[in-house]
């Protein structure tokens, strides 16, 4: 389908010439997609802002990674499964199923009474979230040509921008109230998804009608089980290794199970062939291979930094959840401005590779600058750094997905898009688990060192001798720890906002120093992603949408080629591979291997 608006075919009628969707029809479908994407995007921002309050109430700040990691694990594992199933059964039923499962998990989260329960229910949420983003991006690839995607870029930006503004404000509002309508304030963070999800179900069921050709299939359940067997133990040891000890029996068993799972997954995917959850032939395409590496690394750095920024603003700088949410708006501004700017230039020039290169470079610079932020850093300086990092994210998010969609056969649109999303999610899951593990692993030793240094200063001794300071309840955790010669427990960090500044300073410095280590590590990891996008070949953007390209491929499977590709024919008499039908005719490769 040539992009709407490319010529007179995109007139005012509801359907453009040749059976193509008109601009009006595309916008109608976009309405359903945007509500589903908004649901997932809002959940990420609203939870990130309120997670400290939730963890304090449920008694486990250091366990907060479980709630985030459980969500990302299930979302990561199910993402390629949604892509494969949508290629086989159609996009609409899978998108509706994803919304329904996400709602079920949201309702369950409102009843959590411990961090472990919350992590389990967040895992259910993730089972649905795995399909929300990947299927929405796949459907967009179905109905809009890559070259014309920028025409609709504003709608993506509107969804993420609105959720990025409303999420922190709503999360801070709910987390800042002890009760609302008889329900603990933070529980509304999850309950708010219910009315939004119901609206999404109604709209999607009415407007989302994308053509689908049913194909013969077998579902790769063994591959899905092997993938879970590979990822879950490795991510668990990434989260818990610092507590167990990296050479402990539990850690070694998890690593062994994960390695076995990876091996089983690779063997199974090779045997299953084209019906595989992640077909091995995809990796013979250079754009897919390098793009997947870049997406994985970008996801690692992105989620790692995004998980730490709210903690820095709330714990180190003492902002309330609402204030912290509003203070992250420069990051949103950077993402939105670069997404629009890069999208418009991609549409005009057809060149996209330069943007991930610029984006990852800016992310590296932004993460390195964040490592220099400490307790005394003024907010304006942190805000400028967030803009830089946001520019980096804005230059990466759409172009990498666009590159993969454009380079792969149209019939594989679902699984290819889901695979690109999968690698970004997997990187994000690993990044969140590892970086939070590094943070809290560094924190204890740095706080202990800071307290040993502080107790030798006159200011700290004066605070310990001040009767008003000693009598204040918020100072008790620090005083008890000093007397016992240990660092204070931070399972509930709410006392820091009211504690004496002199007594709390060693804790805040410990947090800031530990975060600096994480930001340096994130910057170093992102360098690998930059090298990957530099190696990635740039394939000219198609001017057909996924639906039209599939239709053309079905009508003329030999001559339908990717941009700049040439058909390859192997004569049967020369020992060429037959088509499997025994008729002696040569089989041609209708899509190039980069």
Number of C-beta neighbours around residue 459 at 10 A:
12
Domain boundary assignment for the chain: 19-209+277-444+513-535, 221-276
What tens digit of pLDDT does each residue of 148-157 get?
A: 766 666 667 6
Mean pLDDT, rounded, for 331-354: 84
* pLDDT at res. 153: 60
pTM, to two decimals: 0.74
The β-bridge relationship of strands 179-180 and 183-184 is antiparallel
Give the model's pLDDT for residue 571. 39
Position with higher pLDDT, 541 vs 553 = 541
Q: Is 112 exposed, middle or buried (CB count within 10 Å of its CB: 0-12, 13-18, 19+)?
A: buried
| 51 against 501, higher pLDDT | 501
pLDDT at 551 over 90: no
pLDDT digits (tens, 9 = 90+) for 193-236: 888 888 888 888 887 776 655 656 667 778 778 888 887 888 77
At 569 the pLDDT is 40
What pLDDT is stored for residue 39 in this prediction?
A: 82
Predicted local confidence at residue 210, as pLDDT: 66
CA distance 229 to 245: 22
* pLDDT band at 17; cut points 50, 70, 90: very low
Give the contacts of 449 (CB within 8 A, at least 6 positions apart): none
Query: Radius of gyration (Cα) for the chain, nearest Å?
Result: 25
pLDDT score of 458 more than 80: yes
Model pLDDT for residues 226-254, shown as the tens digit of each residue: 888 887 888 777 766 666 777 788 888 88
pLDDT given for residue 286 in this prediction: 84
- d(CA 520, CA 364) in angstroms, rounded, equals 9
Q: What value does the mean pLDDT take over residues 445-463?
A: 84
What pLDDT is stored for residue 362 in this prediction? 94
Alpha helix segments (H runs only) across 176-275: 188-191, 193-207, 221-244, 249-272
Count of CB atoms situated within 10 Å of the CB of 140:
25
Cβ atoms of 186 and 50 closer than 8 Å: yes
pLDDT at 544: 59
Q: Which CATH superfamily is domain 19-209+277-444+513-535 in?
A: MFS general substrate transporter like domains (1.20.1250.20)
Q: What percent of the chain has pLDDT over 90?
A: 9
User: Each residue of 171-194: pLDDT tens digit?
Assistant: 777 877 777 777 777 888 888 888
pLDDT at residue 526, rounded to an integer: 92
The residue written with tokens 């979302």 in the block is 75
pLDDT at 365: 94
**522 with 300: CB under 8 angstroms?**
yes
**What pLDDT sits at residue 33?**
81
Q: pLDDT band at residue 590, thresholds of 50, 70 and 90?
A: very low
Number of continuous H segments (helices) and E segments (strands) in the chain: 20, 4
Per-range mean pLDDT, top range of 89-98, 538-547, 582-591: 89-98
Confidence of residue 378 (pLDDT cuts 50, 70, 90): very high
Tokens coding 558:
């030999």
pLDDT of residue 386: 92
Question: Given a cut of 80, is residue 266 above it in pLDDT?
Answer: yes
Q: What is the pLDDT of residues 308-332, one digit of tens each?
A: 888 888 888 888 767 777 788 888 8
User: Per-residue pLDDT for 23 more than 50?
Assistant: yes
pLDDT of residue 547: 56
Q: Supply the pLDDT for residue 65.
A: 65
276-301 residue pLDDT tens: 777 778 888 888 889 888 888 888 88
Residue 383's pLDDT is 93
Average confidence score pLDDT of the chain: 76
| Structural tokens at position 444 | 């204890």
The candidate with the shortest Cα–Cα distance to 198, out of 125, 110, 103, 321, is: 103
Say which residue the tokens 């963890």 belong to: 55
% of the chain at pLDDT higher than 70: 79
């Amino acid at each position: 389908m040539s992009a709407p608006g490319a010529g007179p075919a995109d007139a005012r009628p509801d359907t453009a010439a040749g059976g193509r969707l008109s601009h009006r029809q595309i916008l109608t479908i976009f309405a359903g997609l945007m509500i589903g994407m908004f649901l997932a995007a809002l959940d990420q921002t609203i939870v990130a802002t309120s997670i400290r309050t939730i963890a304090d109430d449920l008694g486990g700040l250091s366990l907060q990674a479980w709630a985030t990691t459980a969500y990302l694990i299930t979302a990561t594992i199910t993402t390629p499964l949604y892509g494969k199933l949508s290629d086989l059964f159609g996009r609409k039923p899978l998108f509706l199923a994803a919304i329904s499962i996400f709602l079920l998990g949201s309702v369950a989260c409102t009843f959590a009474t411990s961090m472990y329960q919350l992590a389990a229910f967040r895992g259910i949420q993730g089972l649905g979230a795995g399909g929300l983003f990947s299927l929405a991006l796949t459907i967009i690839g179905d109905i809009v040509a890559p070259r014309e995607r920028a025409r609709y870029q504003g709608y993506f930006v509107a969804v993420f921008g609105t959720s990025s503004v409303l999420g922190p404000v709503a999360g801070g509002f709910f987390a800042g109230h002890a009760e609302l309508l008889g329900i603990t304030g933070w529980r509304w963070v999850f309950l708010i998804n219910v009315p939004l999800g119901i609206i999404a179900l109604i709209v999607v069921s009415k407007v989302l009608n994308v053509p689908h050709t049913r194909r013969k299939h077998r579902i790769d359940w063994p591959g899905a089980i092997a993938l879970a067997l590979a990822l879950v133990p490795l991510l668990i040891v990434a989260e818990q290794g610092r507590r167990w000890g990296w050479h402990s029996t539990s850690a070694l068993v998890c690593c062994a199970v994960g390695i076995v799972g990876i091996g089983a997954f690779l063997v199974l995917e090779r045997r299953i062939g084209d019906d595989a959850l992640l077909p091995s032939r995809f990796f013979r395409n250079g754009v897919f291979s390098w793009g997947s590496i870049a997406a994985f690394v970008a996801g690692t750095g992105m989620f790692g930094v995004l998980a730490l920024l709210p903690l820095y603003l709330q714990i180190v700088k003492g902002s309330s959840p609402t204030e912290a949410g509003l203070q992250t708006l420069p990051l949103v501004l950077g993402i939105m401005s670069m997404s629009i700017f890069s999208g418009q230039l991609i549409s005009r020039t057809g060149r996209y590779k330069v943007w991930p290169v610029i984006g990852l470079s800016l992310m590296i610079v932004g993460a390195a600058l964040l490592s220099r932020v400490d307790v005394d850093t003024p907010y304006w300086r942190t805000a400028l750094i967030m803009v830089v990092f946001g520019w980096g994210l804005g230059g990466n998010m759409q172009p990498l997905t666009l590159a993969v969609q454009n380079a792969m056969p149209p019939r594989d649109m679902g699984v290819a898009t889901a695979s690109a999303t999968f690698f970004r999610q997997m990187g994000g899951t690993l990044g969140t688990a590892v970086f939070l593990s590094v943070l809290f692993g560094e924190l204890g030793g740095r706080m202990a060192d800071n307290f040993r240094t502080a107790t030798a200063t006159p200011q700290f001794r004066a605070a310990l001798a001040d009767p008003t300071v000693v009598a204040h309840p918020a100072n008790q955790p620090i005083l008890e720890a000093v007397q016992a010669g240990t660092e204070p427990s931070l399972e509930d960090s709410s006392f820091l906002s009211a504690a004496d500044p002199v007594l709390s300073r060693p804790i805040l410095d410990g947090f800031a120093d530990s975060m600096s280590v994480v930001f340096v590590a994130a910057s170093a990891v992102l360098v690998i992603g930059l090298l990957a996008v530099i190696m990635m070949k740039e394939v000219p953007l198609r001017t057909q949408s996924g639906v039209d390209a599939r239709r053309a491929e079905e009508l003329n499977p030999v001559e339908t080629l990717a941009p700049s590709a040439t058909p390859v024919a192997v004569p049967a008499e020369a020992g060429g591979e037959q088509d499997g039908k025994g008729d002696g005719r040569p089989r041609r490769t209708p899509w190039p291997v980069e």
